[in-house]
Structure 1
């Protein structure tokens, strides 16, 4: 495996959920699969259940769940949903550049 200059960069991700709903479970499974495929050994996922810790929603300004917040690397990015659209999730987390406007 070739190492690029940023290959050692650590990714810190927070997944905000509200209980063990099917959508929350899918979001965690999809996030973990994306991370294993693209960030193996370089990521940390912190799951925050807002049913247990509702006060934590304010810090990251969580308005919908499930939401993934990329804490590191900066800048902070947020992605709402269960991450089932892999391409959208990769672009949203900045693991893949967005296609140029006008392309479909």
Structure 2
């Protein structure tokens, strides 16, 4: 079973940042319960990390593992968009590897 390593870059304890964290935790707990590790990085506290990752906007979510590296920018409120953006395979649901869009 693959373990997902995720990093969420936020800017301070703002309502927008906290909403992104809550949205992401809800999605990950539903889809990858026990199979993910989430690191939350405040770019105000660790600007060098943000610079190293070339973070231009926050919130930005980076999936480091499993490869390939993927990024999602925004408040992470759209579950389907987050899963698609991170190329995640949900634990449950009708996923057979086929692309429903083509």
Normalising by structure 1, report the TM-score: 0.84
Q: Residues 1-104 of structure 1 correspond to what in structure 2 (within 5 A)?
A: 8-95=1-88, 99-100=100-101
4+ residue segments displaced more than 4 Å: 96-99
Q: Any idea what SS the aligned residue of 1:61 has?
A: coil
Distance 1:84 1:26 in 2: 8
* Gap runs ≥5 in structure 2: 90-96
Normalising by structure 2, report the TM-score. Answer: 0.85
5+ unaligned residues in a row in structure 1: which ranges?
A: 1-7
- Give the RMSD, CA atoms, in angstroms: 1.5
- Residue-pair matches, total: 94
